[in-house]
Amino acid sequence: APSAQPWRSPGEPRAVFSLPAPRWPVECEVIQETIKHIEWVPAEQEPFCPPTGPEQAPDTLSEEQGTIVYHSSPARQGSCFTRARAGGAPGPLSSPAAPLEGPQDTTLLFESRFESGNLQKAIKVGPYEYVLMLRPDLYTAKHTQWFYFRVQNTRREPLYRFTIANMAKPKSLYSQGLQPLLYSQQDAQSRGIGWRRVGTDIRYSRGGAGELLAFRLSWTVRFPHDSDTCFFAACYPYTYSDLQRYLRALVNDPARSRYCAVQALCCSLAGNTVYLLTITGPGSTAGKRVVVASARVHPGESGSSWAMRGFLDFLLSAHADAQLLRRLFVFKVVPMLNPDGVVVGNSRCSLAGRDPNRAYGAALPGSFPGVWHLQAMVQRVLAEREVVLYCDFHGHSRKNNVFMYGCDAGVDDARTRLSQRLFPLMLSKNAPDKFSFASCKFQVQKNKEGTGRVFMWRLGVSHSYTLEVAFSGSTLGRRSSHFSVEDLKSLGRLLCDTLLDFCDPAPAKVCSDPAQGVPMPQDCGDTGAVPQVQQCLAEADALLRRQMGHEPGSGGSWSDVSPSELESRYVTPCHPVSPHGA
């Protein structure tokens, strides 16, 4: 890591004076083109395609029976990361794509040597059919889920079939109607249309003979134009450079920069800055509680960055609720914990070749600097003031909707168990068409002890959550459609709404109703939010009682019930209410 890394002051940020170009491992070739996409929201929701279930993908020819038309693999990749430089490998670039034989050659030209790209190989097995291989996370042999690549030399009329032959997970939302994303450069330039869902005959299945540990994703598509430049992606890309452009605009904005400081929490293994944003209102911070948020510890979960973008957009806006939040709290936000993984197109790991979200508590600064400095920063904050909430933004590839994981770890106190469920329940009320309280879980499993959510809870952050955003979309209410970028950004605003409802500025004492064993706020004053807290606490108690076969209001206690028993049944969440301030 660079010598400028502040090892002697763990968790203490330093000022950012520049936004340098991304740094890559020296074995990675990088094209010089700047890849940028316009933001666009379709006029109508994009419905899921008819689910295919666990059907076998159509038979495709093997590599030996086809022609390799693209092969990009890091040169001289060793077993571990050694060094990095801006722009990646020095010297002239190789030519991984097979050259066209003439204007009548319809072979697609593939490319992925750009930020977050990860296509390793393309094999042409038919006139318009290709088998694709994704590059595993660097310095590993696994974790193939995220994909992002470019194709050129398209034809408008033919029906193309693409099959990614080395997907890693046995279950996927592609079996439930999820479609890949397509971006047409011609459509973006001439019609202002950005990323959109495409694909028919989508199959997700176990690979054939000799591919027992791999799974296949297959889809057909027609391109919108001849001779177009198009991109495919698993989710809306959000690169490290996208974040830097956002931060540059923020720093140069006289209004927003008054209440947001952009600093360097640390440097990554490759020397990329892990940014820390401190957001609060002007004046003294004495007595203010702290909210900590982070995202993109898993680089392939790009939807979490769009939700984080919405969170920051709202917090930094002139909205009255945003001003109130800045007056009440200090926000510590790390929008991209694993920039190296995002740069190189990993799905899950950092350049240490391991999952950073299993390294909390045991992380060394030389292996997981982002995680190490984040946990050190939270420890420093906790020594001075209360951290009222920690939220780690993630994406989910196997479950629809948005939901949360929390912590109760078998605590035998009814008030604690209800309290853990209160924030997600209130968020489900504010986002009834996106957030599923029924999908939330609160167990602390042994293999999750190294996650940010559990570690922060063990430190003393009483409300510590993982926010999971589906790669697909929502099945709630009348929806059965994909999330748009605007849907993802709206989650950030809804999280802020819920935080105001949850931590209303009016003083409220919480005591227990001896007849029910339920914590009940009192001294509500004239605000609407605290009665909502009271309502949600009562409803959470009623939900849990019904789960265990007890009638609401019947008295007794369920505090001796284990978390696994609480989550073994499922109850539809309570009726939605209007968001705070709406």
Q: Convert 333-365 into a string of H (helix), E (strand) and C (coil).
A: EECCCCHHHHHHCCCCCCCCCCCHHHCCCCCCC
- Are 54 and 103 within 8 A, CB to CB? no
In whole angstroms, give the CA distance from residue 200 to residue 191. Answer: 23
In whole angstroms, give the CA distance from residue 242 to residue 532. Answer: 38
Length of the chain in terms of residues written: 582
Q: Which residue has the tokens 């912590």?
A: 407
Q: Which residue has the tokens 């969170």?
A: 311
Secondary structure (3-state) at 43: coil
51: tokens are 């689910």
- The H or E element spanning position 148 is strand 148-152
Q: Which residue has the tokens 């995202």?
A: 295
* ∠ Cα 19 21 26 (to 5°): 140
What DSSP letter does each residue of 86-115 carry, written as one string? Answer: ETSS-S-----BPPP-STT--PPEEE--ST
* ∠ Cα 58 64 66 (to 5°): 65
C-beta neighbour count of 564 within 10 angstroms: 11
Catalytic residues: 468
Burial of 283 (0-12, 13-18, 19+ CB in 10 A): exposed
Give the distance from CA 43 to its chain's centroid: 24
**Of 112, 130, 99, 98, whose CA–CA distance to 232 is shortest?**
112
Q: What residue type is 236 in one-letter code?
A: Y
In whole angstroms, give the CA distance from residue 34 to residue 262. Answer: 24
As a dihedral over the C-alpha atoms of residue 181, residue 184, residue 185, residue 187, rounded to 10 degrees, the angle is: -120
In whole angstroms, give the CA distance from residue 477 to residue 45. Answer: 14
